[in-house]
């Protein structure tokens, strides 16, 4: 085996070794911890060590698993490419025609391996890109081109990386509106665990799928994880054959007839991201580090923002909105967002979507009075749009019913939130919404868009052709965002989709923030944001301090629990501050000031979680990259069977440094419940990082739905 017949990609403590010997598609010899420098002889022996012999009752030769699995090689699991040409060419046999390896000029990318291949009989060409990112993350994507006459109907194009036999447990995410990204686990057995998202939204999608040793946790246990970076339909699966070979695979889920490649036409699949870690925290940190290294990642401090939705809903009264702005500015809020209800006939959610013109009934003098007031107070101004949607009760829908996504002109999809989807693949429809949005952005000084997407794509087709259109619709939404950002330099976009329904890395090539959930109840947010952190760093997760009584759950919580939960993410407010007491406003101001003081740490540090044995308690935090400072939250999420929390370990600190541990903001109201006044939390303590990580410290007896926030600094 010559060095050119194998490629060893290394970065971030991770090695990916690809066997490229022969003319078949590359196979993975190793994906996992860094193997160090490998010479040609090492690579040859590594290939020898991984070689399989013939299998009983199977092919007479070894069956390799390539990056794109093929039945022509003997692989009898899920094939990577499926499709046909008028019923023929159902199985591919690609032959490699070229391999090119390049160092990258992108800050986030270490190296790129580009593989080209062809199946002359099927008249198809394949392009594979494999990138080792600086953080140790691996990402891949594939493109297929029809080089023959006629139509090739593509059904699926999936890529995979293998996982070892030791990975015997699968973790992925599930959920629904208000309960996004809840973790679930089960055994990794023979067969296929397939998660398909057909909504073009991610409220109940896998989002992240991980396979590892049984019991892998936040801080320990080898695991491998994957994510499909696409905002349309997706498929993600873990598969293991009875010959002990397993894999994590995925790609875009294509609807029937959605991709029909004519001569010389190409389908480009999405990036598939793969992460390895000793524990979920390490795996997630690779994704966080990659996102932070991209040139479009926000470099300025993330402004604390007020969104007026739960304060006023559709009741847009200028005097009230100004009063909210006044209070917000006095508390240190830096961005003010006017939500739904400012345009067309939009007095509730039943009409007006698609008519992106300022309502003269509600805003007779336009948006200038509120925007100027906000800017005069020193805050940025943001505005809500839902560009991909349309109400049937709108001027747009009445004028152009053919612009609605539907399988047939006479059969529209069921309405959801009284709305349908605008077909952005129609040039005139795309131009309509783009031009109306640009007119608003050019008329007013608007720094920020909240971009909503409030319904599933059901029977999403183009009426004139009857063909499924989710793939092209997703690309059109990307293009619309890209055009607006290019036209308005400095414009920032937040992704919202009934809350956290669109958080993938495809949309985050354009958006700097996601609204993690419509549920602002801090207890629910603890779990939602934990699942979200498997993919996104804190500065990209919008989390707001809402009213004392949750508008979604009816649960009553303290200002410290609400603010202390939002504190760790991109902090905001979703509360009618005109009804808050002076004490509540004063305390909220303290939390905002603390967040602003520490957000450089919160938004650049490493996210950590504790593996506390009592599930009534939840520990998470952020540790500075230089390990000189950390902030942790210790929360009680339900009643415990124990009378005390026990010793709680603080993860992520440097073992030999000494640290001072104090409360960030002392909750004097809760001190009586926390025991003796001689305990450490009154005056703090000093210990080494090794002691804090291995022995831990006794925590106060926090009641359910309360938490303590700790500030840890080097001495």
Residue 60: predicted pLDDT: 77
Q: Which of 710, 697, 702 is nearest to 639 (CA)?
A: 702
CA distance 621 to 608: 5
Residue with tokens 């902030």: 631
Angle at 260 between CA 258 and CA 262, to 5 degrees: 155
Residue 460: predicted pLDDT: 97
Give residue 696's pLDDT band: very low, low, confident or very high (50, 70, 90). very high
Residue 439: its H or E element: helix 427-443
Which residues does 101 contact at the CB level (< 8 Å), separation at least 6?
7, 111, 112, 113, 114
3-state secondary structure of 682: helix
| Mean pLDDT confidence for 327-353 | 98
Give residue 667's pLDDT band: very low, low, confident or very high (50, 70, 90). low
Pairing assessment for the beta strands 492-495 and 448-451 based on DSSP bridges:
parallel
Residue 3: predicted pLDDT: 52
| Mean pLDDT confidence for 79-86 | 98
DSSP state, residue 507: G
Domain assignments of the chain as residue spans, ordered by start:
70-293, 305-597, 607-714
DSSP state, residue 294: S
Fold annotation for 305-597: TIM Barrel (3.20.20)
Mean pLDDT of the chain: 95
Q: In this predicted model, what pLDDT tens digit does every residue of 224-264 receive, in sequence order?
A: 999 999 999 999 999 999 888 999 999 999 999 999 999 99
Fold annotation for 70-293: Beta-galactosidase; Chain A, domain 5 (2.70.98)
Which residues does 332 contact at the CB level (< 8 Å), separation at least 6?
304, 589, 592, 593, 596
Q: Which of 575, 612, 611 is nearest to 591 (CA)?
A: 575
Q: What whole-number percentage of the chain has pLDDT above 70?
A: 98
410 counts as catalytic: no
CATH number of 607-714: 2.60.40.1180
Q: Quick one: CA torsion of 28, 34, 40, 44, rounded to 10 degrees?
A: -40
CA distance 513 to 617: 28
Sheet holding 6-11, edge to edge: 6-11, 14-19, 27-33
Which residues on neighbouring strands pair with residue 184, listed in sequence order? 172
| Mean pLDDT confidence for 293-311 | 97
CA distance 159 to 150: 26
Distances in Å between the Cα of 362 and the Cα atoms of 31, 315, 344 are: 59, 9, 9
121 counts as catalytic: no
Q: Which of 200, 53, 70 is nearest to 128 (CA)?
A: 70
pLDDT score of 678 more than 80:
no
Pairing assessment for the beta strands 109-119 and 95-103 based on DSSP bridges:
antiparallel
CA distance 632 to 610: 10
Buried b (16+ CB within 10 A) or exposed e, 549-572: ebbbeeeebbbbbbbbbbbbbbbb
Q: In this predicted model, what pLDDT tens digit does every residue of 413-471 receive, in sequence order?
A: 999 999 999 999 999 999 999 999 999 999 999 999 999 999 999 999 999 999 999 99
Residue 682: predicted pLDDT: 85
End-to-end CA distance of the chain: 54
Give residue 669's pLDDT band: very low, low, confident or very high (50, 70, 90). very low
Which residues does 652 contact at the CB level (< 8 Å), separation at least 6?
281, 606, 608, 621, 623, 627, 630, 693
Chain-centroid distance, C-alpha 74: 36
Q: In this predicted model, what pLDDT tens digit does every residue of 16-38 receive, in sequence order?
A: 999 999 999 999 999 999 999 99
Q: Where are the beta strands (DSSP E) in 59-208?
A: 81-84, 95-103, 109-119, 124-133, 138-146, 152-157, 159-163, 169-174, 182-187, 191-197
Q: What whole-number percentage of the chain has pLDDT above 90?
A: 92
Greater model confidence, 391 or 48: 391
Give residue 62's pLDDT band: very low, low, confident or very high (50, 70, 90). confident
pLDDT score of 298 more than 90:
yes
3-state secondary structure of 492: strand
pLDDT score of 625 more than 90:
yes
Q: Where are the beta strands (DSSP E) in 508-597?
A: 513-515, 541-546, 570-574
What pTM, to 2 d.p., does this model score? 0.97
Q: In this predicted model, what pLDDT tens digit does every residue of 526-560 receive, in sequence order?
A: 999 999 999 999 999 999 999 999 999 999 999 99
The answer to whether 651 and 699 have CB atoms below 8 angstroms apart is no
DSSP state, residue 269: P
Distances in Å between the Cα of 645 and the Cα atoms of 530, 625, 639 are: 20, 29, 11
Identify the active-site residue in 518, 560, 576, 667.
Answer: 518
Residue 674: predicted pLDDT: 46
Residue 670: predicted pLDDT: 46
The answer to whether 183 and 171 have CB atoms below 8 angstroms apart is yes
Q: Quick one: CA torsion of 223, 229, 230, 234, rounded to 10 degrees?
A: -20
The answer to whether 624 and 630 have CB atoms below 8 angstroms apart is yes
Residue 672: predicted pLDDT: 36
Which residues does 414 contact at the CB level (< 8 Å), separation at least 6?
458
Give residue 85's pLDDT band: very low, low, confident or very high (50, 70, 90). very high
CA distance 283 to 280: 5
Identify the active-site residue in 281, 289, 355, 452.
Answer: 452
């Amino acid at each position: 085996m010559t060095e050119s017949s194998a490629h060893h990609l290394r970065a971030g403590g991770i090695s990916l070794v690809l066997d490229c010997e022969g003319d078949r598609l590359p196979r993975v010899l190793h994906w996992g911890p860094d193997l160090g420098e490998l010479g040609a002889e090492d690579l040859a022996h590594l290939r020898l060590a991984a070689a399989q012999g013939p299998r009983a009752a199977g092919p007479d030769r070894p069956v390799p698993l390539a990056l794109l699995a093929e039945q022509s090689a003997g692989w009898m699991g899920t094939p990577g490419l499926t499709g046909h040409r008028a019923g023929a060419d159902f199985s591919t046999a690609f032959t490699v025609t070229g391999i090119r390896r390049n160092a990258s000029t992108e800050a986030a990318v270490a190296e790129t391996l580009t593989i080209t291949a062809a199946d002359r009989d099927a008249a198809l060409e394949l392009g594979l890109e494999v990138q080792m990112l600086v953080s140790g993350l691996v990402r891949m994507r594939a493109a297929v081109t029809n080089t023959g006459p006629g139509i090739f109907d593509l059904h699926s194009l999936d890529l995979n990386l293998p996982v070892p036999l030791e990975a015997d447990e699968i973790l992925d995410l599930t959920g629904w509106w208000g309960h996004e990204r809840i973790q679930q686990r089960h055994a990794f057995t023979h067969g296929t665990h397939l998660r398909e998202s057909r909504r073009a939204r991610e409220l109940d999608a896998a989002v992240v799928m991980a396979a590892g040793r049984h019991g892998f946790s936040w801080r320990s246990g080898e695991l491998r994880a994957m994510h499909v970076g696409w905002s349309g339909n997706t498929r993600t699966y873990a598969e293991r054959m009875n010959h002990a070979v397993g894999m994590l695979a995925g790609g875009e889920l294509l609807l029937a007839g959605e991709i029909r490649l004519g001569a010389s036409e190409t389908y480009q699949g999405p990036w598939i991201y793969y992460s390895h870690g000793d524990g979920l925290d390490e795996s997630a940190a690779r994704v966080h580090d990659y996102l932070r290294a991209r040139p479009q990642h926000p470099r300025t401090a993330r402004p604390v923002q007020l969104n007026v939705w739960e304060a006023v809903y559709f009741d847009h009264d200028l005097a009230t909105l100004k009063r909210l702005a006044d209070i917000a500015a006095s508390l240190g809020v830096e961005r003010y967002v006017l939500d739904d209800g400012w345009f067309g006939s939009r007095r509730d959610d039943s009409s007006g979507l698609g008519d992106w013109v300022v309502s003269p009934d509600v805003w007779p003098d336009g948006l200038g009075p509120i925007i100027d007031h906000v800017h005069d107070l020193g805050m940025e101004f943001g505005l809500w749009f839902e560009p991909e949607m349309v109400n049937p009760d709108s001027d747009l829908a009445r004028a152009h019913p053919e612009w609605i996504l539907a399988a047939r002109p006479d059969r529209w999809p069921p309405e959801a939130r009284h709305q349908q989807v605008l077909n952005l693949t129609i040039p005139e429809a795309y131009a309509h919404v783009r031009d109306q949005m640009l007119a608003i952005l050019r008329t007013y000084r608007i720094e920020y868009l909240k971009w909503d997407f409030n319904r599933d794509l059901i029977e999403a087709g183009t009426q004139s052709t009857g063909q499924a259109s989710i793939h092209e619709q997703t690309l059109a939404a990307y293009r619309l965002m890209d055009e607006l950002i290019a036209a308005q330099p400095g414009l920032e976009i937040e992704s919202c989709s009934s809350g956290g329904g669109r958080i993938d890395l495809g949309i985050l090539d354009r958006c700097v923030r996601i609204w993690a959930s419509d549920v602002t109840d801090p207890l629910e947010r603890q779990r939602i944001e934990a699942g979200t952190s498997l993919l996104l760093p804190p500065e990209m997760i919008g989390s707001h301090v809402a009213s004392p009584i949750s508008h979604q759950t009816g649960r009553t919580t303290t200002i410290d629990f609400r603010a202390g939960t939002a504190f760790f993410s991109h902090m905001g407010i979703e509360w009618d501050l005109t009804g808050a007491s002076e004490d509540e406003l004063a305390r909220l101001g303290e939390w905002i000031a603390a967040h602003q003081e520490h957000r450089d740490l919160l938004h650049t540090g490493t996210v950590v979680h504790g593996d506390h044995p009592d599930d009534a308690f939840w520990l998470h935090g952020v540790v500075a990259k230089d390990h000189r400072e950390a902030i942790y939250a210790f929360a009680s999420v339900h009643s415990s069977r124990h009378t005390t929390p026990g010793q709680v370990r603080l993860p992520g600190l440097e073992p030999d440094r000494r640290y001072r541990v104090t409360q960030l903001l002392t909750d004097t109201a809760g001190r009586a419940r926390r025991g003796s006044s001689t305990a450490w939390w009154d005056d703090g303590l000093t210990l080494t990082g090794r002691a804090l990580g291995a022995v831990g410290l006794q925590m106060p007896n926090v009641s359910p739905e309360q938490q303590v926030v700790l500030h840890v600094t080097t001495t």
